[in-house]
Chains A and B, each alone.
Chain A
Amino acid sequence: MSDIILSMPFLLQGAVITLQVTVLSAVFGTIIGTIFGMGRLSKAPFLRIPSSIYIEFVRGTPLLVQIYIIYFGLPSIGIDFPPFTAAVVALSINAGAYTAEIVRAGIQSISRGQTEAARSLGMTVWQTMRYIILPQAFRNILPALGNEFIALTKESSLVSVIGIAELTRQGQYIISRTFKSFEIYGGVAIVYFAITFTLAQLVNWVEKKVTIK
């Protein structure tokens, strides 16, 4: 028990890194996901086909391998990211693909009448997306997005393999010195849970907030 308490400051340091990586990747992932989610629904093949390939490829390959490609693979073609950047890039690309599918479903859940009403008022395709479709779609997909962000928090532990001193990695350090695997990994799990639990509450709160009464 005392080992857990003593190691807490280090775990919390790791948790801060985990949060940084996760939040950045969630933001970029949402942006990427919105673009590719719309891309996949586009009538234009030059938008639709690359979007589909990206989404399917990323969803069909392990995140760990994607991290390896970004961090160890890209330098051989001249793109050399520092570890933190590589971690955020890999997680963003990964989250982007899953988010794209969520966004696509969200857009499809809005009735065609909404688009028609907007277009009949002179809005362009883009204005219709921005003011009519996306705001409603995001309300509808909020729970799914919340789940995706929770999954992302947990999956961010994989970037420990490229030496990011996030939560899991910090745990490993401490264990290498104290040999208390059970206690420390237990502590690590508790911190992850605290983050995901808070996130879930946050999503619930936002959901209530944006519900039209």
Chain B
Amino acid sequence: MSTIISIRNLHKRFGHLEVLKGIDLELQKGEVMVVIGPSGGGKSTMLRCINHLEKYEKGEIYFKDVLLHEKRVNMNEYRMKMGMVFQQFNLFPHRTVIDNLMLSPLKVKKMDPAEVKEKALNLLKRIGLSEKASAYPINLSGGQQQRVAISRALMMDPELMLFDEPTSALDPELVGEVLEVMKQLAREGMTMIVVTHEMGFAREVGHRMILIDDGLIVEEATPTDFFQNPKSERTKEFLRKVL
């Protein structure tokens, strides 16, 4: 097994508020890590630090063996390798579905348009949205938008996918279709960090679970152990609330 992400002693503050208080984490290739924890605990902040949407003042994050915050590292190159899916989808509303998928491969990777288009159409087919290729995001349901957003990230051939509560903004009846795409991805061996409260997903495809509370990882275990014999009091309390 090879390590894709390792985080050492990560600290992050917003002004006076210390949000991450020393996170240590290793993620292996092919691993699906599920992150849970109470609101405000720092889950999103941790994800956003990993792909450097957020700066941090202390600690190290390595992608494979590259220390990401070093000056000589071109972070744009590494962000491509880490697809990110947001709670609010964040599709580009002024672009059609297929253009959402094609934009970055064309402009950032300067790939061949015909090749990009074929790839985009294939991905849309896989998520069952071929007929929406030329629709604008506004005309899609939330579930469809999120599936498109996942495909858009996959267009860059990422080595790792970061999901920040991808189903939290969806109507309950639309959650399933998005989780299905994510499970499929997990089964194909994609390395994933998923912040979610969907415990079924965690049980079904998760390899490891962590609970982040108040800026620290308070529990780290396989899903089975996590649910059956949590060690920390805070985990027990959290599980009582969500289950």
Contact = CB atoms under 8 A, between A and B. Distances in A.
Interface of A: 111, 113-114, 116-124, 127, 131-132, 135-136, 139, 212-213
A183 to B, nearest CB: 49
Contacts of A139: 94
B80 A122 contact: yes
B17 to A, nearest CB: 18
**Which of B83, B86, B90, B149 has the most C-beta atoms of chain A within 10 angstroms of its own C-beta?**
B90
A212 B138 contact: yes
Contact of A127 (B80, B107, B136, B138): B107
A120 B83 contact: yes
Interface string B82-111: 111010101111100000000110011100
A113 B104 contact: no
A122 B53 contact: no
A160 to B, nearest CB: 41
Contacts of A132: 92
B79 A131 contact: no
B215 to A, nearest CB: 21
A123 B92 contact: no
B30 to A, nearest CB: 21
B168 to A, nearest CB: 14
Nearest to B137: A212
Contacts of B104: 118, 121-123
Contacts of B94: 135-136, 139, 212
A116 B53 contact: yes
Contacts of A136: 92-94
Contacts of A117: 84, 86, 90-92, 149
Contacts of A123: 76, 104, 107-108
B26 to A, nearest CB: 22
B80 to A, nearest CB: 3
A95 B182 CA distance: 50
A122 B108 contact: yes
B208 interface: no
Given A116-B53, A131-B103, A121 B90 contact: no
Contacts of B107: 123, 127, 131
A213 B139 CA distance: 8
Interface in B69-85: 76-77, 79-80, 82-84
A120 B93 contact: no
22 contacts: A111-B90, A116-B53, A117-B92, A118-B104, A119-B76, A120-B53, A120-B82, A120-B153, A121-B79, A121-B80, A121-B108, A121-B152, A121-B156, A122-B79, A122-B104, A122-B109, A123-B104, A123-B108, A127-B108, A132-B92, A136-B93, A139-B94
The 3 closest A-B pairs by CB, nearest first: A122-B80, A117-B90, A121-B104
A120 B88 contact: no
Interface in B11-70: 48, 51, 53
A122 B159 CA distance: 13
B112 to A, nearest CB: 17
Given A119-B53, A120-B82, A113 B90 contact: yes
Contacts of A212: 93-94, 136, 138
A132 B156 CA distance: 17
A139 B93 CA distance: 11
A120 B47 CA distance: 11
Given A113-B90, A136-B93, 7 more contacts: A114-B92, A118-B104, A122-B80, A122-B108, A127-B107, A135-B94, A212-B138
Contacts of A120: 51, 53, 79, 82-84, 153
